[in-house]
């Protein structure tokens, strides 16, 4: 497996995890305000993780 395929697999895995987490949050028995706050926190965490991963990948090829 080359690094291009590995990166695609990791991104697919991360997106699947985010979708699953979002669905779990939407169906959890919480108030709307708490759910929205939790979703926004999860999105911020995901952005950080994706940016960190992209930086590591970029540094390997630059």
pLDDT: is 6 or 53 the higher one? Answer: 53
- Write out pLDDT tens, residues 6-52: 677 777 888 888 888 878 877 777 677 887 888 888 888 888 888 88
Residue that has been written with the tokens 């759910």 in this structure: 35
As a dihedral over the C-alpha atoms of residue 3, residue 43, residue 45, residue 49, rounded to 10 degrees, the angle is 10
DSSP annotation of 2 reads -
Instruction: Judge contact between 35 and 26, C-beta under 8 A.
Output: yes
pTM beyond cutoff 0.75: no
- CA-CA distance, 29 to 8, in Å (whole number)? 34
**Residue 29 DSSP code:** S
């Amino acid at each position: 497996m080359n690094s291009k395929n590995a990166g695609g697999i990791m991104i697919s895995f991360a997106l699947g995890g985010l979708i699953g987490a979002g669905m779990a949050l939407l169906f959890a028995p919480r108030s709307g305000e708490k759910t929205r706050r939790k979703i926004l926190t999860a999105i911020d965490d995901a952005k950080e993780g994706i940016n960190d991963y992209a930086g590591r990948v970029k540094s390997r090829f630059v």
